[in-house]
Amino acid sequence: MNIPEQDYSNGPFDKTGLYFFIAFAFITLMTSCSSSQKSQAAHTEPSAQVQEKKDYKTLAAEKYESNTEFIESPDNHYVLCLHEEKGSPRYPQNNLSFFVYDLKTKDIVYESNLTNGKVSWYRKGKLAIQRTPGIMREDQTIDDYISIYDLVTKEKVSKSQLEKKTSDRDF
């Protein structure tokens, strides 16, 4: 049995093996460098990471491009930014996108989307979010489809439950 002799004049690797070794070394080097850059970015000074906060009109223009309605809260602490996209004959539902902007902290404190509904101010620091009901049961009212969202406590409760709690306290 004849075993062919290998040519080791270029060392123990052939050209293909050498290319794979160089590619592996290059990829390993690049991934180790990128992870060290990420860790350095995480340890930068907080003042370097602080960016100037945008006002609600700029944010609305970036998010919705046009047709935005701005409604200030009764206490002038928040602004409700509403954008409604009308439905088409094929998809007749209107889509409502909105966010609430805190004028003091200059931050968005609540953001959501709604199909075929309405959003308005309920009371100081509270939103009324109304979904359009399909077929209501006999024991339901429209208040069962209105959620009251408290911007401070971040709690959502139906208007009928909220009014029941309020009437229970009155007795």
CB 127 within 8 A of CB 118: no
- Indicate whether 152 belongs to any domain: yes
CB environment 130-144: b (16+ within 10 A), e (fewer) = beeeeeeeeeeeebb
Higher-pLDDT residue of 98 and 42 is 98
28 within domain boundaries: no
Give the pLDDT confidence of 26-82 residue by residue, as tens digits.
Answer: 666 666 655 444 444 444 444 444 557 888 999 999 998 788 999 999 999 999 999
**Chain centre distance of CA 2:** 70
Residue 132 lies in a domain: yes
User: Would 6 be classed as within a structural domain?
Assistant: no
Which range of residues forms the domain containing residue 128? 56-170
- Containing H/E element for 58? helix 56-64
Residue 91 Ramachandran class (φ > 0 left, ψ -120 to 50 alpha, else beta): beta
H helix or E strand, kind and range, residue 33: helix 15-42
Report the number of distinct structural domains present in the chain.
1
The pLDDT, as a whole number, for residue 54 is 86
In a domain, 5, yes or no: no
Q: Is residue 11 part of a domain?
A: no
Residue 15 domain-assigned? Answer: no
Is the model more confident about 170 or about 24? Answer: 24
| Domain-located, residue 119 | yes
Query: Per-residue pLDDT tens for 112-170?
Result: 999 989 999 998 899 999 988 878 788 878 888 899 999 999 999 888 777 776 655 54
